[in-house]
Structure formats: C-alpha cells, structure tokens
Amino acid sequence: MSFAKLILFAMILQLAACGGGVTDDLLPSGEDKRPDVEPGSVGTQVGQLSPDFNVQDTLDNSHMLSTELVSADAVVLYFTMWCPICDSHTSHMRSTIIPDFPNVRFFLVDYVSGSISASRAAQLSNGYATSTVFVDTHQTLFNLYNASMGTVVVIDSTGIVQMNEDYKDGVKLRQTLDALP
Amino acid sequence: MKYRRTVALLLGATCLSAPTVWAASCCGGGSATSMIMPKFAKAMIDVSLDAENYNGYWDADGNYREDPPGSDLNQYRLNLGYAYRLASRWQTSVVLPYVWNSNQYAGLSSNTQGLGDMKLNLVYEAFDGIKCVWKVRKPEDLIPAVYYGLSLTVPTGISPYDDVDNSFDITGRGFYRLDANVLLDKTIYPWNVSLLFAYGKYLERSVNREYGNYVEPYSKQLGDRVQATATFGYTYFLEEMDTLTFSLAYSYLQEDAGTIDGRTDPSSMMEKNSIATTVAYSTMDRDWVVKGTWSHSEPDSGWGKNFPVTDIITMGVSYVFR
C-alpha cells in the first residue's frame, strides 16, 4: 500500500508541475494593480482616448466610432460569443439598462462567428434581431480593447474610455453611464 | 492573440463533473453514486477518464439554444483519486483532475490543458456492519448504510482570475467550496438504491484580475449549491461470483445567484438535470471495479438554466486495499 501511495503522490506532483503549479486562486489578492494611465494618451484603458475604428454590422452597414459618437452620449460595446453567460448579460442589459439611456449607442460585438452571414445567423437564433451586432471578423476590436467574453467597453462622446471590464451584474455599467459627462 | 471563451462552457467540467468513479457501496462493487470505499477497506486508488461533449446550452429562462454551426466542444479529464481509512468509521480521500480542452467554436479553435480543482473529502460512516443483505428477515435489515461527508474544493485549477491570456485555458472556477454530503445506500441483493444529497457553500474571495487584465478590486462569491442524486441498480452475478451492476441515476443540480460586492449577480445562477447509466464490473472479492458511465443532459428546453448541455462518458477503474 505504501508503494501505491508513493506512486499516486508522484503522479499528483507531476500533474501539478504540468499544470503550472500553485495558482493565484489559492491566495486571492484584493490589491489594486491596475497600471497608471497617462490622461489623454491613446489606448483602451479607462481614462485613455480610444482609437477610432471602422467595423461592419450583420446587415453589412459600416460603423465608425467617431461618427457614432457625434450624435450619442456614449458608445457601449459588449463582446459576445453567444454563450450562456453572454446571453444572461445581454438579456439583463437589454431589459434593465438600455431603456434608461436612449442617447447611448449599444452594440454587441461578435468576435467568434468569423463572417457576416454566420454572425447574422447566430444573432437571429439567439433572439437579438433588433440589436446591432458588429462582426469582428478578424478579432480586430477584440484585440484592440484587450477584451474577453463578457467584456463591456464604454466610450464617452469625447472618445475617452470610461469602462473596460467584465459586465458582471451590470451595476458598474449603470454607474458609468450615469456619470457620463 | 487572445481567445476568450465562455466560462460557462468550461464550468461543465469544473463544477458539474461527476464524482470520480468510486469503487463501491459499503459492500463493494456497487452503485453509481457511491463516493466512498467499502467498509473495512484500508485504502483505495481510483483512476477515471471523463470525456465531455458540449451540445448547446439552456439560457436563463430554460430555453435550449444550439451552438453555432460547426462547433465541436470537448473536455477530457483524468481524475486521480486516493482514499484512506482513518478509523473504523472514518475515511478521507483526495481527487485531483487534469483537464484537456479541445474546442472548435464557430471561427475559433483551441486545444489547451491544465490542472483542475482538487477535492478533499472526509466521510463518517454511521454504521459498523455491512448493510447489504440478501433477504429481509427483520426490520433492521432495511436500515441503509448512511454516510456523512465534508468536501473541500480547492481552486488548484486555472480560473478566469489567474494570470491567463486565454480563456480556453480555464480548468477551474477559482473559488474554495465546502460541501456537506449525506449518502444513503441500501442493497438488498440483487437490488440497490442510493440517495445522495449535497449542499455546498463557496467562500467569498477578492478579485483584482479578469482574464489577465487587472481591474478595480471587488469581492465575489458564487451562490450556494444543491445537488441531489437518486440511483437505482441491479446486480447480476457472474460465474465465480464476479458481478455486473447496472445502475440508472437521476441528478439535479442548482446553484443560486452569486454576489459581487454583496450585490446579487443574476447572471450566475444555474440549474441542470441529468440522467446517467452505469455498468460496473467487480471481481468476486470486490477489490477491482471497472466502471463505465454515460451521463446525459437533454438538449431540450426545461432541463436546465443558464448552463451548457453536455454528455459525459466516464471510464474508471479502482482498486481496494484490504
């Protein structure tokens, strides 16, 4: 039995080594480690001036950030891959936040479908026919904003990024939109 | 380039993974939901391999939705388990999974691997003698074997809060969880029934990073979790008293909405119903058990909420030290 225990222990150690060892989750940190941002610099972190972009939607219309911002208080991007959490976030956003901010443009960014037709099909099958969905065919926006599944980005009318993080429960998004200049 | 994928798809592995294919009921050789080694055994080694295939998901309203065309999402888990008897009524065990993700999702493709979340178990057996009987001769023969257990899930896997560039790397949820378990197991040969009830509570933690990006720190806690499994089995005796046990199980799992900085996070609740069938072969002395399990979730509305639909095939073998 002791030999068997030894073998098992060795296997566990080996697996731990393969998996990168102890992770940060064992001792979570609450320290704020966000990097400092130089105000006015161009970038996609909060406080930076967002780069402009041009992207097609699922109806093959072209959207340029700077153009959208001319007539809106802000642009909100939500990065979706049509998954359960994405659906939960977008449903919540659609029902509880979007109606309260009529002068803010909300866009879903589909970074997984890879083509306008596939993205349109996913949009319809997931019940978002009335939403405007950007087709991020080459993951340009996804990489530009260093996004992930569920990331929400808020860019105010002056082009400043006001939020760039996970949607979570939507409270941060609402606070951000309420505080728009 | 960073490929981020749905946490929920991976949660299937890390939060819903079936218990390692444990060897036996108190008699040995036995049921699908037993999480423990047989009475009087000194130790047990268990190795199993799960192959989980994803097939769409249920949204928050319970409606079934298909994955995008061309999607092929799979996760494979190698589970290593070791159980050890501490005393005549006490046993402890550890299960460590290693996870491989193999995914083709719409236009994305990824193959990654890593350690999963480890589980430590402590079980108290509320009985001294074998509770399996051949015939009911007196009322006491109907008394089941009762186990009370505590399980601690340790976040040894790779979570969204780790330093990961790629969400395809995720193999764990990132939270400690403490479960209280009760298992009732009764065998009146050749029939077996077992009921498992588990209640789990996640520990709150701080988060200052999401998918490798530092964010404004916040505290997060996943919702309480309830799992109930009922198993019904039949044991067929082969020559020389080797056995084949066939089991059918129904399992219900629910996780409440979690909290973020104390506020309810409505996107985090989930629910899943599944059925499983198991075939287990055991040698006469019940030392070796080889099991195969197919766990199925119905790709139809009403079988779950806010969670992926999956099929899991598990093959496992265990050996009991006397």
Higher per-residue confidence, B125 vs A85: B125
| Type and span of the H or E element at B61 | none
CB contact under 8 A, B105 and A81: yes
Q: What is the CATH number of the domain that holds A102?
A: 3.40.30.10
pLDDT at B12 over 50: no
Residue A37 lies inside a defined structural domain of this protein: no
| B245 domain-assigned | yes
- Contact (CB, 8 A) for B306 and B267: yes
On the question of pLDDT at B248 being above 50, the answer is yes
DSSP letters, B230-273, are EEEEEEEE-GGG-EEEEEEEEEEEEE--EEETTEEEGGG-EEEE
Judged by DSSP in three states, B176 sits in: coil
Chain A residues inside the 8 Å CB shell of B66: 125
Confidence of residue A104 (pLDDT cuts 50, 70, 90): very high
Residue A7: the pLDDT is: 52
Mean pLDDT computed over B170-188: 92
Contacts of A147 in chain B (CB under 8 A): 2, 4
A112 part of a folded domain: yes
Residues of A whose CB is below 8 A from B216? 32, 34, 165
Across the interface, which of B6, B114, B210 has its CB nearest the CB of A83?
A: B6
Phi, psi of B277 (to 5 degrees): -125, 140
> Considering the domain boundaries, does residue A141 fall inside one?
yes
Q: How many domains does chain A have?
A: 1
Residue A36 lies in a domain: no
Name the residue range of residue A77's domain.
54-178
pLDDT for B35 beyond 80 = no
Within-domain flag for B309? yes
Q: Report the CATH number at residue B78.
A: 2.40.160.40
Average pLDDT, chain B: 85
pLDDT reported for residue B163: 81
Partner residue facing A112 (CB), from B108, B163, B214: B108
Q: At what angle do helices B7-16 and A84-96 cross, to 10 degrees?
A: 120
* pLDDT band of A114, cuts 50, 70, 90: confident
Interface of B with A in 91-150 (CB under 8 A): 94, 96, 98, 105-108, 113-115
Instruction: Measure CA A136 to chain center.
Output: 12
Residue A84 is predicted with a pLDDT of 81
Interface contact B69-A121, CB threshold 8 A? yes
For residue A48, being part of any structural domain is answered with: no
The answer to whether position A23 is within a domain reads: no
Tally the domains of chain B.
Answer: 1
**Residue B322 belongs to some domain of the structure:** no
B262 to chain A, any CB pair closer than 8 A? The answer is no
Flag whether B1 is in a domain: no
Nearest CA to B37 among B88, B113, B107? Answer: B88
Task: Output the six-digit token pair for A123.
Answer: 């949009």
Residue A58 lies in a domain: yes
Q: What is the pLDDT of residues B257-279, one digit of tens each?
A: 999 999 998 778 899 999 999 99
User: Residue B96 and residue B79: Cα distance in Å, rounded?
Assistant: 6
**Scanning the structure block, which residue is given the tokens 């764990």?**
B172
Chain A contact for B42 (CB, 8 A cutoff): yes
SS3 B10: helix
- Name the one residue in this structure whose structure tokens are 């808020």: A154
Percent of chain B with pLDDT over 90: 57
Which has the minimum average pLDDT: A70-74, A130-134, A157-161, B238-242?
A: B238-242
User: B260 in contact with A at a CB cutoff of 8 Å?
Assistant: yes
Please give, one letter per residue, the 3-state secondary structure of chain A: CHHHHHHHHHHHHHHHHHCCCCCHHHCCCCCCCCCCCCCCCECCCCCCECCCCEEEECCCCEEEHHHHHHCCCEEEEEEECCCHHHHHHHHHHHHHCHHHCCCEEEEEEECCCCCHHHHHHHHHHCCCCCCCEEECCCCHHHHHCCCCCCEEEEEECCCEEEEEEECCCCHHHHHHHHCCC
* Model confidence, pTM: 0.82
Domain that holds residue B164: 7-316
- A181: distance to nearest CA of chain B, Å? 21
Who has greater pLDDT, A6 or B108?
B108
Cβ-proximal residues to A70 (8 Å cutoff; 6+ apart), any chain: none
In a domain, A6, yes or no: no
Structure confidence at residue B25 (pLDDT): 46
Chain A CA closest to residue B3? A148
Chain B residues with CB under 8 Å of A151 CB are 4
Chain A's closest residue to B257, CA to CA, is: A169
Residues of chain B found within 8 Å of residue A18, distances taken between Cβ atoms:
98, 113-115
Q: Name the residue in chain A with its Cα closest to that of B2.
A: A143
Q: Tell me which chain B residue has its CA closest to the CA of residue A116.
A: B107
Least CB–CB distance from B207: residue in A5, A28, A121:
A28
Q: Measured between beta carbons, which residues in chain A are less than 8 angstroms from residue B60?
A: 84, 87-88, 91
